[in-house]
């Protein structure tokens, strides 16, 4: 059982604005949870893609690269 108070009430108010055709209550909660779940999946996939992309540079910049670059700078 979910009580329609505080943050839940605010979420249901927002759902009512976004999806006026969805009745307040369990249908709106189901819609909110479904949309949130889909967004979390997309976020997780985007994060994984970003990490994958960044790890591809691991071989480009070897240990000591930055220190060597700094040595080339004029004092």
3-class secondary structure, 4: coil
How many Å separate Cα 11 from the centre of its chain? 18
- Average pLDDT on 48-54 reads 91
The predicted pLDDT at position 55 comes to: 85
Give me the long-range contacts of 3-11 (CB less than 8 A, separation at least 24): none
Q: How confident is the model at residue 28 (pLDDT cuts 50, 70, 90)?
A: very high
The predicted pLDDT at position 7 comes to: 94
* For residue 32, pLDDT beyond 90: yes
Backbone φ/ψ region at 58: left (φ over 0), alpha (ψ -120 to 50), beta:
alpha
């Amino acid at each position: 059982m979910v009580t329609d108070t505080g943050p839940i009430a605010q979420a249901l108010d927002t759902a009512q604005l976004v999806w006026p055709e969805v009745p307040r209550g369990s249908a709106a909660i189901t819609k909110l949870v479904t949309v949130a779940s889909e967004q979390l999946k997309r976020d997780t996939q985007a994060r994984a893609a970003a990490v994958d992309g960044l790890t591809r540079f691991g071989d480009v910049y070897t240990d000591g690269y930055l220190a060597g670059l700094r040595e080339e700078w004029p004092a």
